[in-house]
Chains A and B, each alone.
Chain A
Amino acid sequence: MKIERLDHYQVFALLVVLMGLLGAHVSRLPNWLLGVLALLFVWRAWLQHKQWRMPPKWLLLPVVFGVVTGIYLEYHTLIGRTAGVTLLAALVGAKLLETRTRRDALLLVYLGYFLVVTNFLFDQSVAMGLYLSAMVLAISTLLVSWNSLGGWTGRRQRAVDQLVFAGSLMLQAIPLMVLLFVFFPRIEGPLWRLPQDRSGVGSGLSDTMSPGSFSNMSKDDTVAFRVSFSDTRPSQDMLYWRGPVFDQYDGHTWTQASPGLLTENPVEAVAGKSIPYVMTLEPHQRAWLLALEMPTALPEGARMSEQYQVVSRRNIDKRLRLNMQAAVQYRVGAKEADAQLNRSLQLPKVVNPLARAAAEKWRNLLPAERVIEALRFFGTQGLTYTLEPPLYGKNAVDDFVFVGKQGFCEHFAGAFVFMLRAAGVPARVVGGYQGGEENGDYLIIRQADAHAWTEVWLEGKGWQRVDPTFAVAPSRIQEGLASAVGAEDLPYLMRLDNNVIKRMRLLLDSAVNGWNQWVIGYTPERQRELLRKLGINDLLSSGFLAWFIGSVFSLVALSAAWLLWRARPRRPDPAKQAWDRFCRKLAGLGLQVGLAEAPSDFALRAKRALPERASAIDDVLGDYLAVRYGSQPALANLARKVREF
C-alpha cells in the first residue's frame, strides 16, 4: 500500500474533528491529562505549520509511558469506565504525533469512533444522539476527503461538496440503520462486566427519611420517571407512587428494615380491575422501582418485599421501560404476621413526651377511630404546609406539632406515624412520589413530586393508606405542589402558570419521551412485542429471517437501482446523434474517427480520403458546427444531410 501523506488542510481538519471527539469527555478527564492533550495538539499543529518532522520514538515513548502511569496512579486501574476512557483519550493524543499518512489518520479516526461510543456508557440523552450524528458526519467527511483527489473545484467548494456528499450518504443509510435497529436480535446483557462499573450516588429518593430529605427535593425539577396509561388514568389524588417503606424510627431518622421478599403478590383488587401502565424510570442508582399503589403485576425480574415495595436485583443504573399494573382500590395484608406488626409499633423510649401523651389518650377508642381522631387532631392543630420548615430539636415531633407548627410532608407523615404508634395502631411511613404532570398522553413525575405518606394496619382491613398532608393541605394532593405552597419557591417548571416557555419545555419533554420509548427503551422485551405485531413469534424463526433479510435486501436493491438510474448515461443531443450516425456511415467506408479527433480534423481527413464527397462532407460539418454554436434551424438540415449522405 502506498504511503499517502495528508495535506495541510486535512491535518487541521483532523485536529478539529478529534477535538470534537475528545470534547464530550472533557468533564471526565483529569485536569493534568487535559493539559497534556492540549500540549500534544498544539505541538502537532505547530509541526504541521512549520512542516517539521514528527518527533522521534525515543521522545514520544517516555511521554506515553508517563501518561499511562499517571492514569494508573489516578484510578488505580487501566480498565473500567472512566479509566478506560481516559486511556483512550491519551492514546489518541499520542498517536496524533505519529500521524503523517492516511493510514495513521484512519487508525485515529477508528479510535475516534470508540471515543464516541464510550460516551454512551455515561449518557444516552437526545443531545448525545445529535452529537453522534454530528461526529459521524464529520468523520465521514474526512474519509471522503481522504479518498478523493484534489478535484476540479476550489478548496472551499470541495470541502462543502464533500460535506454534502457525506451527509447524503448518511441520509441514504438511515432507512437501513432503522431496519437493522429494529430487527437485529437483541440479547439480554451483560456478556461481561468491567470493574468499577457501578457508578456513584444518583439523585432521587434516599433510603432513609429525616427532616429535610423531601423538602430539599422540592427544588429539583429533573424527571424521576414518566408514565403512560394505556386505557384509564386514575384521578390525580390516587397517584401515589410507592417507593421505600420506613418503619424504624430512632427519634431523628426513619429507616428501612431489610425485609424479606414475597413469593406471591398478596394484593387483591377491589372494585374494578387492575390498571395497566408503562413506566420509563430514570436511573437512580438504587435497587428499587417505583410503582403505583398497589402493584398487582410486576415487570420481569422484579420482586415484591414484605412491605409491598417493588425491588430489583440490581441498582437501576440505566433508564428502564417497565410494564406494570396496579389496583388503586385494593386490599392487602389482612392477615399480617405479628413480627411485621410489632415492627410497626416500635418507638424510641424517651423522645416526644407531649405527642406521646396526647396519643395515649386515644387508646380507649377503636383502632379505626384512633386514626380518625389523629387526622382530626392534625386538622385542628393549626399546622401549615411549607417548603421551608424550621429546624426542630431533639423532640422533633413535639416541636413540630405543638410549637413550630410548620412542616413539609416528611414532618406530617413522621409525626402522624409516631402518634398512631403511641396510640397502639401499627403504622409506617411510605416514601415515593405523588401526582404528576400531564403532557399529552403521558405523565411526567419529577423529583419535586417526592412525597411521604403513611400506612396504618387495621384488623380485618389490612394496610390502609392515610395521608396526613391531605388533612392539612388537600390541594397538594388534588392539584399538585404548586397550589399548596407559594409558586415563587418552586422550580420553574413546577409552577402552575402556563406560559410559552413552559409549553416549549413540555414539547421538548415529549420529544425526549419518544426518544426514551423508542430508542433507549427498545429492549429485547420491546422487540419481541413489536415483532409479535408483525406476526413473528420467535427470533431466528423463518418468518423473522424472511422479514429481516427480505426488507434489508429490498431496501439495498432500491437504493442501488436509484443510484444507477441517477448515473445512467444521458441520451446524446440530436446534433451529436446525427454526427455519430455520419461517423458510422464513414466507418462503413473504412474511415474510423480517432478518439481524440476533433470533428473538423476528421472531416479534413475524410475529404482527403474521399475527394469526390468533399462538398457533402463540408456541408455536414458546417451544419454540425452551426448547431453546436447555437443555430437551431441548422439541426433539421443536418439530420437531412446525414440521412442523404
Chain B
Amino acid sequence: MLKLPKALTQPFSSRWQAWLHRRHPSGRAQLLTQNRVYIFLSRSGLMFVVMTLTMLGGAINYDLALAYLLVFLLLAMALVSIFHTFRNLLGLQIAPGRVEPCFVGESARFEVVLENAGALPRHNIVLRYDEAETAIDVLAADNARVWLSLPAPQRGWLRAPRLGIETHWPLGVFRSWSYANFEQRTLIYPKPEVNAPPLPQAAEGVGEGVITPRGQDDFAGLRPFQRGDSPRHVAWKAAARDDGLMVKEFHGEASHALWLDWDALPPGLDSEARLARLTAWVLMAHAAGLSFGLSLPTRRLPPEHGDLQRDACLAALALYGIKEPE
C-alpha cells in the first residue's frame, strides 16, 4: 500500500481528528442526528457491486431480459437497503453509563446506554472502543445497556477512546457509522502483590481479624447505608420512618484500628512494589471485615471499614504520584 510521508499526513490527520471532534463534541448523551450518521458501501458491498456489474455485462451481451430483471432487482434492493441501514442508526441516543474500575492486567468495563425513541427496533448495533467490540439490538421505544471491556495496562485513570457505532443491517451491502465522545474514564488500581505477607499487627495490640464488640454507649450518629455495611448496624427504626437505610456509627474503632503504612514497609521496596503490597493488604483487610487506615507519603485515610473505605484506599493507591487531570 502507498504510504505517504508523515509530514504530509500529520497535519491532515490532526485536522481530520479536529473535524471529527467538532462534529461529535464530547458530552453526556449524544443523539445521532442526520449530520452525524455516515453511510457508504461496505467491503462486501463493493463485492456486491462488482458482481452485479458482471451480471449486467452478461445480460447485455446475451440480451437476457431475466438477467436484466435480476440485476435491477438486486440493485434496487441495495438502494432501498441504504435507508434501512441509515435509519437503523438515525435518532439513536447514546449515553455513557456506569464504569467498573479494575486492577492492572484485568479489563476495565465501560457501560454504554442506547436509547431508542423511535417506533422501529434497531438491529445489530455494533459499539466499539478500539478493539473492544460488542453488538446489540434495541427494541422500539426502549433502551439497552452494553458493557465494553478495555485492557488496563497501567494504574491511574483509563480514559475510553472515541466510541465507534456502526451497523451493517439488513443486507450488509452498506455500512452506516457514527462516533460519540463521552470521555468516560475509570480508575485502574495497582496490581495486588501475589503471595503478599500477612497483614501487619494492629496498633494497641488488637488481634488480627478480631472486631471488638461495640456497646450502645459508643454510638456516635447515623450515616447513609453503604454496600458492605453489616445489617446489624442498620438503624431499622429510622428506616421505618422512610428516611432510607441509615447505619449507626460507633466511636472507639479508630483507636484499635489497623494502619497500612507506606513508611512502615521494608526500605528495600521500590514505590510500585510498595503500592502492590498495600493494595494486597487493603483487599485482605476488607475481606476480613477490619477497620483500616491507609497512610501514604501524600495522603492519609483515617481508619474505616466497608466497601467505601476499600474503594477510597484503592483510588488513593491508583493515583499515587499521578496528577489528577482537570
Chain A residue at minimal CB-CB distance from B57: A191
CB distance B170 to A169 under 8 Å? yes
Contact partner, A147, options B72, B133, B172, Cβ 8 Å:
B172
Assembly CA distance A569 to B83 (angstroms):
17
Q: List 11 A-B contacts (CB under 8 A).
A: A120-B67, A148-B123, A149-B136, A152-B137, A169-B81, A172-B80, A177-B72, A181-B72, A520-B66, A523-B63, A563-B83
CB distance A173 to B80 under 8 Å? yes
CB distance B77 to A169 under 8 Å? yes
Assembly CA distance A564 to B97 (angstroms):
28
- Chain A residues with Cβ under 8 A from B287's Cβ? none
CB distance A596 to B77 under 8 Å? no
- Please tell me which stretch of B102-110, B113-121, B209-217, B265-273 contacts chain A, meaning at least 4 of its Cβ atoms lie within 8 angstroms of it: B113-121
- Chain B residues with Cβ under 8 A from A604's Cβ? 244
- Please tell me which stretch of B9-17, B43-51, B199-207 contacts chain A, meaning at least 4 of its Cβ atoms lie within 8 angstroms of it: B43-51
Q: Tell me whether A458 is interfacial, beta carbon within 8 Å.
A: no
Looking at chain A's contact residues, the main secondary structure is helix
- Chain B residues with Cβ under 8 A from A165's Cβ? 170
- Please tell me which stretch of A24-32, A106-114, A444-452 contacts chain B, meaning at least 4 of its Cβ atoms lie within 8 angstroms of it: A106-114
Chain A 150-173: CB-based contact to B (< 8 A → 1; otherwise 0): 011000000000000110011011
Distance from B43 Cβ to chain A, minimum over Cβ atoms (Å): 7
CB distance A116 to B70 under 8 Å? yes
Contact partner, B66, options A120, A174, A189, Cβ 8 Å:
A120
Q: Tell me whether A192 is interfacial, beta carbon within 8 Å.
A: yes
Contact partner, B80, options A117, A146, A169, A181, Cβ 8 Å:
A169
Chain B residue at minimal CB-CB distance from A162: B170
CB distance A114 to B80 under 8 Å? no
Contact partner, A132, options B47, B69, B170, Cβ 8 Å:
B69
Q: Tell me whether B55 is interfacial, beta carbon within 8 Å.
A: yes
CB distance A146 to B172 under 8 Å? yes
Contact partner, A106, options B44, B64, B84, Cβ 8 Å:
B44
Distance from B39 Cβ to chain A, minimum over Cβ atoms (Å): 12
CB distance A568 to B118 under 8 Å? yes
Q: Tell me whether B18 is interfacial, beta carbon within 8 Å.
A: no
CB distance A151 to B137 under 8 Å? yes
CB distance B69 to A519 under 8 Å? yes
Q: Name, among B57, B59, B84, the residue most crowded by chain A CB atoms within 10 Å (CB to CB).
A: B84
Chain B residue at minimal CB-CB distance from A107: B47
In the A-B complex, list the 10 residue pairs whose CB atoms are closest, starting with the nearest.
A176-B76, A173-B76, A569-B117, A180-B72, A173-B77, A120-B66, A177-B76, A567-B120, A120-B64, A189-B63
- Chain B residues with Cβ under 8 A from A174's Cβ? 73, 76
Distance from A638 Cβ to chain B, minimum over Cβ atoms (Å): 20
Interface residues of chain B, those whose CB is within 8 Å of chain A, are 29, 43-44, 47-48, 51, 55, 57-70, 72-77, 79-81, 83-84, 87, 90-91, 95, 97, 113, 117-120, 123-124, 133, 135-137, 139, 141, 145, 168-172, 244
Chain A contact residue count (CB 8 A cutoff): 67
Q: Tell me whether A1 is interfacial, beta carbon within 8 Å.
A: yes
Chain B residue at minimal CB-CB distance from A111: B51
Contact partner, A176, options B80, B84, B87, Cβ 8 Å:
B80
- Please tell me which stretch of A121-129, A303-311, A353-361, A393-401 contacts chain B, meaning at least 4 of its Cβ atoms lie within 8 angstroms of it: A121-129
Chain A residue at minimal CB-CB distance from B136: A149
Q: Tell me whether A595 is interfacial, beta carbon within 8 Å.
A: yes
Q: A568-B118, A596-B113 are in contact. Are A519 and B65 (CB under 8 A)?
A: yes
Contact partner, B75, options A180, A520, A567, Cβ 8 Å:
A180
Chain A residue at minimal CB-CB distance from B122: A567
Q: Tell me whether A566 is interfacial, beta carbon within 8 Å.
A: yes
CB distance A117 to B77 under 8 Å? no
Distance from B37 Cβ to chain A, minimum over Cβ atoms (Å): 12
CB distance A567 to B61 under 8 Å? no
Assembly CA distance A114 to B145 (angstroms):
42
Interface residues of chain A, those whose CB is within 8 Å of chain B, are 1-2, 103, 106-107, 110, 113-114, 116-117, 119-121, 124, 128-129, 132, 136, 140, 143-144, 146-149, 151-152, 165-166, 169-170, 172-177, 180-181, 184, 186-192, 318, 519-523, 556, 559-560, 563-564, 566-570, 595-596, 604, 608
Distance from B78 Cβ to chain A, minimum over Cβ atoms (Å): 8
Chain B residue at minimal CB-CB distance from A128: B66
Assembly CA distance A249 to B172 (angstroms):
67
- Chain B residues with Cβ under 8 A from A181's Cβ? 68-69, 72
CB distance B83 to A132 under 8 Å? no
Assembly CA distance A591 to B69 (angstroms):
61
- Chain A residues with Cβ under 8 A from B76's Cβ? 173-177, 180
- Chain A residues with Cβ under 8 A from B80's Cβ? 169, 172-173, 176, 559
Assembly CA distance A303 to B61 (angstroms):
24
CB distance A190 to B63 under 8 Å? yes
Contact partner, A117, options B67, B75, B90, B120, Cβ 8 Å:
B67
Chain B residue at minimal CB-CB distance from A166: B170
Assembly CA distance A175 to B75 (angstroms):
12
CB distance B133 to A2 under 8 Å? yes
Contact partner, A110, options B51, B119, B120, B170, Cβ 8 Å:
B51
Assembly CA distance A121 to B57 (angstroms):
13
Distance from B266 Cβ to chain A, minimum over Cβ atoms (Å): 46
Chain A residue at minimal CB-CB distance from B168: A147
Q: Name, among A113, A140, A520, A567, the residue most crowded by chain B CB atoms within 10 Å (CB to CB).
A: A567
Contact partner, B87, options A124, A128, A143, A564, Cβ 8 Å:
A564
Assembly CA distance A175 to B69 (angstroms):
12
- Chain A residues with Cβ under 8 A from B74's Cβ? 113, 136
CB distance B73 to A173 under 8 Å? yes
Contact partner, A567, options B77, B113, B119, B135, Cβ 8 Å:
B119
Chain B residue at minimal CB-CB distance from A185: B60
- Chain A residues with Cβ under 8 A from B59's Cβ? 117
- Chain B residues with Cβ under 8 A from A523's Cβ? 63
CB distance B79 to A113 under 8 Å? no
Q: A176-B79, A189-B63, A556-B79 are in contact. Are A144 and B55 (CB under 8 A)?
A: no
Q: A147-B124, A177-B73 are in contact. Are A169 and B51 (CB under 8 A)?
A: no
Q: Name, among B80, B118, B124, B135, the residue most crowded by chain A CB atoms within 10 Å (CB to CB).
A: B80
- Chain A residues with Cβ under 8 A from B62's Cβ? 120-121, 189-190
Assembly CA distance A570 to B118 (angstroms):
7
Chain B residue at minimal CB-CB distance from A565: B119
CB distance A106 to B47 under 8 Å? yes
Contact partner, A519, options B55, B66, B91, B171, Cβ 8 Å:
B66
Q: A124-B64, A148-B170, A177-B73 are in contact. Are A563 and B91 (CB under 8 A)?
A: no
- Chain B residues with Cβ under 8 A from A596's Cβ? 97, 113, 145
